[in-house]
Structure 1
Amino acid sequence: MKKEQNHKLLLSFLYSILLNALLSLYVIYHSLSKPGWGIEAMAEAEAAAAIACSWHGHAFVDSVVVNGRPKCECNNCYAGEDCSILMRDCSADAVSGDPQYLEPYWRQNAGRSAVVLSGWHRMSYQNNAPNYISMELERHIRLLHRAVGNAVTDDRFIIFGSGSTQLLNAVIKAFSSPLDHNSPVGVVATAPYYEVFREQTKLFNSREYQWKGIPSNMSSSTNSTQLLSENLIEIVTSPNNPDGNLQRRSKFLLGSSMAAIHDHAYYWPQYSPIPAPADEDVMLFSNAKFTGHASSRFGWAIIKDEKVYQKVVTYMDLSTVGVSSDTQLRVLKLIKTILLQIREEGDFFKFGYETMKERWQRLSKVVSSSNRFSLQKLSPHYCSYFNEFKDPSPAYAWLRCEKDEDEDCEAVLRNAGILSRGGTMFEAHSRYARLSLIKTLDDFEQLLQKLQTLIFSTDSYSSL
């Protein structure tokens, strides 16, 4: 009797194991093996993209849902449910460097550039590569620089960051290690410079480094021998933000042993001629200015020295545990799309260059119609990517107010309904203002219209 009971218990146990195994196989088959699991996600994305918003706005999958569909998010100066209402008293916004001018290219390449993520895509902190980076993305970044010819990557280390701004502080931190210096390292940049360099350095208020300002100001208050002996880090932006000029290290610091960080966010053929590959110790690149996907928050640093690289890796590990795997996958897809058509029909860089060149030429024509304003002087230069001389195509206009009474150019523009960044933000004279040329077509057309009105009203008043 006891043996019979044991036999029944054993059969029940084996039956339970078999049933669980069958159920597991059923779940796996229906969740993983069944094709077409991404159809619903693709349909949702295409439905949102199909909402035109009168071509003056966007609807996204994650937009606020109204009456069962994503709500339109309107461009500046447009309103209404479908963004069809133009607000006449609205100011043209030329403040931010939001590179939305590239959206038409990505609409033309919607299928190639789309990404569908499974719900279980890279859930772990770790992947199969060191330092939280996608090895395939790193490989494609090297292929990209080699194809474009704008940076040397051989025998260099590459590290990813949540935008190049995060990497900037990581590199400053690496260069200012307390093991190497007895006093705070000074961070400097030649004016006009991107104000985030100053503001971010001051924000962290580190005991290891501090903002020292402009090299020329330092040279006037410090003798040359003392200046060259100081521990300094120079940030060099080339092409420069805001004026688009190709920059070199400050002449006031030549001969010093100080470190340098080269910000090459705009060193791409759509913004600047590429005379030769950049070959510096530390080079920063921003995906925002490269592909236009600012919201993805992705950048990378190319570093020559392994010790500096390892310090940056430690910073990234402790601050954010690397960069989002979802972001890395999206950037990989974008770069693959660009490489597929490089120097072919549908070339990304040709599209970007032609767009920026046209905007610069149209703006220059408006500004040159009056002597009230002037623009930075840029001339054609040879570009190795296009293998020919190319006209200027800067990301920003560095506008100068020429009238004696127009001391504050930002205020002059603001009073005329144009929002800009004043020159003092870049530690330049208040007679200057930066106008962004890389926003939407709506933004650019509004800028031109307001500027034409301002110039026309000035000329009309002068002729009275």
Structure 2
Amino acid sequence: MGKVRVTKNLSILLLLVCSLALNVLFILKRVRVFDDESSSSDELSWSRRPAREAERVAAISCSGHGRAFIDSSLVVDEEEEEEGPVCECNSCYAGSHCQNFLPSCPVNAKSGDPLFLEPFWMENAESSAMMVAGWHRMSYTFKDSGYMSKQLKARLRQMHAIVGNAVTEGRYIIFGSGSTQLINAAVHALSSHNSYSPSLVVPRIPYYSLYKQQTEFFQEVEYKFEDDASLWMNDSATNNLIEIVTSPNNPDGQLNHARLQHPNDKAIYDRFYYWSHFTAISSPADDDIMLFSLSKFIGHAGTRFGWAVVKDETVFTRMSRYLTLNTVGVSHESQLRALRLMKVIIQGKEEETMFDFGYKTMRNRWEKLNDIVSISKRFSLQNIEFQYCNFFHKIRAPSPAFAWLKCLRKEEKDCHAVLAAANIMGCRGSTYGAEDKFVRLSLVGTQDDFDHLLHQVKILISEEKPNRFDSDHIPCDLFSFL
């Protein structure tokens, strides 16, 4: 009996040991499977190499006076040696890493490249970056939404609601390759389509030069350009007039309104600068056609993305047809990048949003330049008043994108030549339909550009440099508002 009991106990013990061993093995296997699944979900595959390449190029400092880009490098493989420079230097800087300042270089105050926001996006590199697979959106269209992303449309409406700068509910939204394309699409849509009585496209002086150049370049039998809206105020009933209203205005930053009030008159509102970093947001704009661009909103001019908010369905349909025949929609990569950047801005940060950064930067630049020019009896700047801003919930100081500088001496009728003699490159007043006693100076460039401008203006006001500089070979930037 004793042997039987011992044998029985040993059998039970053996079963317990086996059961325990099987449970341990099962648990270990489950843990291993979980670890494998976790590691496979965290481990990158096709995106690792492009991510490393992007990080490596972004780490090149270029002495803080330039940028390195993936497409500016001749390096194809990490293991290959670098061929040629990878830094693209800011104006007036040179060298393999932009380490050399060129003191005799003229100030670049012509370009409207909105690079003042670049530091913000560098600070938000992780949240704003995106990786696109080689098979991303190869079709012409989005499923069930034609050429325009539904998500991006929704984000744009959300963004306008947050800022409070435009009414979008019950309105049509249409995308364009930058706002340049949208301008002529709107002109085409509003024109009389009657060759015997063409519509007249009329801006208010000073106006942005591309309105004239583009309208004349694409001129059809249905419309033509005229220089000044004020000349037609008493005669608008007998003409088909399309007024282009820029508000805030480029070049002087004023909040303009349509002058022509006859029922037959039509207006296109350029609202590219109606954002809280450039002007006070007093109320949501509710115009028949409002044009916006990614360029002036968040600084990404190279993405080439703009949008229009349109009230009338017929106008929207005509614009859509024009854009479809012109480019068959906007690049899906541009729409994806715009969507990604919108999400960054909408989600925001607790410390400093893009609007905070943009307004602070532009306000400080305007204050510094205005303080210097205010002591001069030779020059003046446009007057922009302090205004209450609904977005910031406070009275805000001026922060225009451009300085509209005027030469006050009667004998100095060509202010552009006066500044050129001081190595300052601006845009002539006649470029905007105004007198050449005016010059537009851009404030939206890099910090290097602005610091150089400030330095040369100080010298000009304090001692009037005698040397002259021929600047006619440097064209004024035609795309400063896109």
TM-score, with normalisation over the residues of structure 1?
0.88
- 1:129/1:213 CA distance change after superposition, 3 Å: farther
Correspondence 1:169 to 2:174:
no
1:156 to 165, 171, 174: 171
* Correspondences of 1:408-423 after superposition (within 5 Å): 408-423=414-429
Deviations 1:214-266 (A, max 9, x none): 022345xxxx3x4322101000000000000100011xx22342110000000
* Correspondences of 1:178-193 after superposition (within 5 Å): 178=193, 182-193=196-207
Tell me, in whole angstroms, the C-alpha distance in 1 between the residues paired with 2:354 and 2:43: 36
The corresponding residue for 1:288 is 295
The secondary structure found in structure 2 opposite 1:327 is helix
Deviations 1:333-370 (A, max 9, x none): 0010000117x422110110000000000000111121
1:330 to 317, 320, 337: 337
The corresponding residue for 1:99 is 114
Deviations 1:21-76 (A, max 9, x none): xxxxxxxxxxx998432111111111111000000011100004274266111100
Q: Which runs of no fewer than 5 residues in structure 2 stay unpaired?
A: 1-40, 76-80, 467-482
* Correspondences of 1:146-295 after superposition (within 5 Å): 146-178=161-193, 182-219=196-233, 224=234, 226-250=235-259, 253-295=260-302
The corresponding residue for 1:7 is none
The corresponding residue for 1:121 is 136
Tell me, in whole angstroms, the C-alpha distance in 1 between the residues paired with 2:268 and 2:465: 45
The secondary structure found in structure 2 opposite 1:132 is coil
The corresponding residue for 1:20 is none
The corresponding residue for 1:6 is none
The secondary structure found in structure 2 opposite 1:451 is helix
Q: CA deviation at 1:127?
A: 1.4
Deviations 1:80-127 (A, max 9, x none): 001000111100000011100000000110000001100000011121
The secondary structure found in structure 1 opposite 2:70 is coil
The corresponding residue for 1:366 is 372
Question: How high is the sequence identity, in percent, across the aligned residues?
Answer: 47
Q: Is the 8 A contact 2:422 2:464 kept in 1?
A: no
Q: CA deviation at 1:177?
A: 4.8
Q: CA RMSD in A?
A: 1.8
Decide which structure has the larger Cα Rg and report it. 2
The corresponding residue for 2:361 is 355
Q: Which runs of no fewer than 5 residues in structure 1 stay unpaired?
A: 1-31
The corresponding residue for 1:382 is 388
- 1:47/1:33 CA distance change after superposition, 3 Å: closer
Q: Is the 8 A contact 1:370 1:459 kept in 2?
A: no
Q: Is the 8 A contact 1:423 1:429 kept in 2?
A: yes
- 1:33/1:448 CA distance change after superposition, 3 Å: closer
Q: Is the 8 A contact 1:131 1:317 kept in 2?
A: no
Q: Is the 8 A contact 1:129 1:135 kept in 2?
A: no
Q: Is the 8 A contact 2:192 2:240 kept in 1?
A: no
Q: CA deviation at 1:182?
A: 4.2
The corresponding residue for 1:9 is none
Deviations 1:112-168 (A, max 9, x none): 000110000001112114340111000000000001000000000000000111001
Tell me, in whole angstroms, the C-alpha distance in 1 between the residues paired with 2:144 and 2:151: 10
1:62 to 71, 86, 90: 71
How many correspondences in the alignment?
A: 420
Q: CA deviation at 1:459?
A: 10
Tell me, in whole angstroms, the C-alpha distance in 2 between the residues paired with 1:350 and 1:34: 37
The corresponding residue for 1:312 is 319
